[in-house]
Amino acid sequence: MTPTISGAARRLLRGLAALLLATAGAAGATSPAGAAARAAEPVPGTLVSSQPLPLDLWLPGTGAAYRITYVSTPADPAAPAPVVVSGAVFVPQGTPPAGGWPVIGWAHATVGVADPCAPSVAGRPQRDVDFLGAWLRAGYAVAATDYEGLGTPSPHPYLRGASEAYGVVDAVRAARAADPKGSLSRTWLAVGHSQGGQAALFTGALQASYAPELDYRGSVALAPPSQWRTLIAAAEPFDFDPAKPASPFVFLLLEMMRAAHPGAIDPAALLTPAGARLFPEVQKSLCVGDLIQRLSGHVNGDFFAIDAAERETFTDLLIKDAEIPITRQARPLYIAQGTADTLVFPPAAQTTAGLLAQAGSAVTFRFYGGADHLGIEAAALPDLLSWAADRLHDRPAG
């Protein structure tokens, strides 16, 4: 089933677009009309729609669940309007503690770039069901973004970190409005795996200025991709060598580059005829699991025609959009990395953790022996729950 945005969301976007077009060129205006127009712009985190989530998409320990759409900030700062993003909210069973359930802002791993891949519609892999169910049973609500462009109009800017982080933060804001009992706390943690681990670290870097009204306590990043030059050179799934097994991630990154850097990257010039035939399916319907199956037995050269200069341009743009910001983060970080991970390069995660610590962030980094890219959730879970409980006893920032 292909998810569709609600009529209310469409009206919101149309109205906002008309407002911005009408006031184009008047950004510096000081008239009462100009001020009123700016005041009428939808606020990021505003809830657009909420409806009960089908029972077959509930997580263990769920007492109530909703599929939501909400206003968020787009990846492109020059975009003429905010975007509407979809996601899901899971409220634990039982009676909330004083002050409400603390919230996990969940950032999911790679699912694809097509709308049908949105987890709030397609569901979640069993590893996520088990992982998030444990958080619910531990007394956390879960606000799970689908990310910009997954399940709603506009392209999904895959691995564009700021966009992912805005989606995470605004899902937490919207989740509090979606719960009719008002049982969700201001206190929250960002937690993510793989693409979502990258999102969680971006979230920590921008949340203080973006959402000061929330009581953010820290971020958990499981197997976050980072150090992109090293990763492309060392991790086979991101290797453009035409003789290597065909990589689904190159297709996904081409879609991000197409949307984010149309003047610099032209996917048509980087695809073979077979790649050009498959690319529209990746954009519209193929989720990552099915895409991996379609590529089985093929090599990169069957689909991609990327020379050394194009690879360098590709890498530079990826670093610009997707590299973890190395800055002092105000709240603690936990980075967990499996030693048997062949998707992201384990030493790269350790390097990023060290650089963040040198910048003044409070970083806990741990290798999990024998854990691969998918197994890191289960391997790290007991430590993460303990670490998160300690963070809830910290004094609020600021």
| Helix residue ranges, H only, 48-125 | 119-122
Q: Which of 75, 81, 105, 71 shows the shortest CA–CA distance to 214?
A: 105
Give pLDDT tens digits along the chain (398 positions): 333 444 544 444 444 433 333 323 333 333 344 444 444 578 999 999 999 999 999 999 999 999 999 999 987 777 777 899 999 999 999 999 999 999 999 999 999 999 999 999 999 999 999 999 999 999 999 999 999 999 998 899 999 999 999 999 999 999 999 999 999 999 999 999 999 999 999 999 999 999 999 999 999 999 999 999 998 888 777 778 899 999 999 999 999 988 888 888 888 899 999 999 999 999 999 999 999 999 999 999 999 999 888 888 888 999 999 999 999 999 999 999 999 999 999 999 999 999 999 999 999 999 999 999 999 999 999 999 999 999 987 654 43
* Residue pLDDT, tens place only, 179-220: 999 999 999 999 999 999 999 999 999 999 999 999 999 999
Q: Is 190 exposed, middle or buried (0-12, 13-18, 19+ CB in 10 A)?
A: buried
Same domain for 384 and 301: no
* Residue pLDDT, tens place only, 318-334: 999 999 999 999 999 99
Q: Are 112 and 162 in contact (CB under 8 A)?
A: no
Same domain for 285 and 202: no
Same domain for 351 and 289: no
Backbone angles phi, psi at 115, to 5 degrees: -55, -40
Rounded-to-integer distance, Cα 241 and Cα 394, Å: 48
Residue type, 293: Q
Q: Is residue 23 part of a domain?
A: yes
Same domain for 156 and 92: yes
User: What distances in angstroms separate CA 259 from CA 21, 138, 283, one per listed residue?
Assistant: 21, 39, 11
Could you tell me the residue range of the domain that residue 164 belongs to? 7-227+323-392
Rounded-to-integer distance, Cα 11 and Cα 159, Å: 28
* Residue pLDDT, tens place only, 358-373: 999 999 999 999 999 9
Number of domains the chain contains: 2
Same domain for 126 and 252: no
Same domain for 138 and 11: yes
Dig out the tokens for 105 from the structure. 């802002």
pTM: 0.90
